[in-house]
């Protein structure tokens, strides 16, 4: 069994056109949208030993200001992803896009994607229109996902105040990691992880800055956030999450992630070029911190996503 890539992106021409009409000509401050085609993606998979890619739409998601159009676009990309899986059996799965912050629309699309299209889970961005995932208005969605024991792939996006903090640098360089931390901290401190234990979360980029923050969050919440006192420690909640290794996890970052039984492989293609994917795999192969990482991450993906990912 080859690698199972849980962090892989696809781009439909109509999705890029919709994003550009909404002003996302330079997505999250990158120079341009990358090119994507199913054949190039398959070529990359074959050359790097990736057996299956679980596709998702990356930042900035599918909601560009209008709820109805976001619902239509979410349905379009989800049905296209499901069709790719049918056309290439065993090679592609997908995490379904949801039109958040439209919670009602997101619930409808999650039901359709999981029950009818048989998505492997859903993809959520770290914030949706400035709302973070611990917002009380999202509880209806969490109940639906919990009832289905759904996998949630939590992908970073630009923070609401990105103009003030990014300083014209590409937001994936710094801001993505911190916005992921904001989202996960919000989920932990508002009790979402605790109240909806059947939802399984994948956090990108080996947790980003999260592994360094758990103890600090616990210290501060014990003094300043007394309402969270009945919850498990943030550190213990972080240990229950799953983490992909997209980005630059070796040699420095990965050793800070608690344990290896929840590690998953992620390429971040097509936003990460094929040459960089190959270099990252070579670095993982050579690092003492990632011994047997291929076997471990594949077994973990099968455990998380079910036997059908290995078909």
Give me the residue spans of the domains in the chain. 3-310
CB 76 within 8 A of CB 12: yes
List pLDDT tens digits, range 143-171: 999 999 999 999 999 999 999 999 999 99
Prediction pTM value: 0.95
Task: Reply yes or no on whether the pLDDT at 310 is more than 60.
Answer: no
Q: pLDDT above 70 covers what percent of the chain?
A: 94
CA–CA–CA angle 287, 293, 299 (5° rounding): 175
Own/partner contacts of 225-232, CB < 8 Å, gap of 24 or more, are: 225/189, 228/189, 228/190, 228/191, 231/188, 231/189, 231/191, 231/194, 232/194
Architecture of the domain spanning 3-310: Alpha-Beta Barrel (3.20)
CA distance 93 to 81: 7
List pLDDT tens digits, range 179-213: 999 999 999 999 999 999 999 999 999 998 988 88
């Amino acid at each position: 069994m080859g690698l199972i890539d849980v962090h892989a992106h696809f781009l439909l021409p109509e999705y890029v056109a919709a994003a550009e009409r909404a002003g996302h000509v330079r997505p999250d401050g990158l120079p341009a949208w990358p090119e994507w085609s199913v054949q190039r993606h398959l070529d990359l998979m074959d050359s790097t030993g990736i057996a299956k890619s679980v596709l998702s739409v990356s930042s900035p998601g599918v909601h560009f200001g209008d709820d109805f159009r976001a619902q239509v676009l979410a349905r379009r990309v989800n049905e296209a992803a499901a069709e790719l899986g049918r056309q290439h059996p065993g090679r592609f799965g997908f995490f379904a896009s949801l039109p958040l912050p439209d919670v009602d629309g997101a619930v409808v699309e999650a039901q359709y994607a999981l029950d009818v299209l048989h998505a492997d889970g859903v993809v959520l961005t770290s914030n949706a229109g400035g709302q973070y995932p611990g917002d009380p208005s999202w509880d209806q969605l969490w109940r639906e996902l919990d009832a289905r024991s759904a996998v949630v792939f939590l992908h970073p996006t630009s923070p609401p105040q990105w103009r003030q903090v990014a300083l014209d640098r590409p937001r994936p360089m710094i801001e993505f990691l911190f916005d992921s931390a904001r989202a996960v901290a919000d989920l932990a401190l508002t009790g979402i992880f605790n109240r909806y234990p059947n939802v399984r979360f994948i956090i990108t980029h080996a947790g980003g800055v999260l592994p360094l923050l758990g103890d600090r969050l616990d210290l501060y919440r014990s003094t300043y956030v007394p309402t969270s006192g009945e919850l498990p420690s943030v550190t213990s909640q972080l240990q229950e999450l799953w983490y992909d290794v997209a980005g630059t996890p070796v040699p420095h970052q990965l050793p800070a992630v608690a344990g290896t039984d929840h590690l998953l492989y992620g390429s971040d293609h097509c936003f990460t070029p094929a040459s960089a994917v190959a270099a990252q795999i070579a670095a993982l192969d050579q690092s003492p911190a990632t011994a047997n990482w291929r076997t471990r991450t594949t077994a973990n993906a099968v455990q998380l996503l079910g036997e059908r990912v290995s078909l």
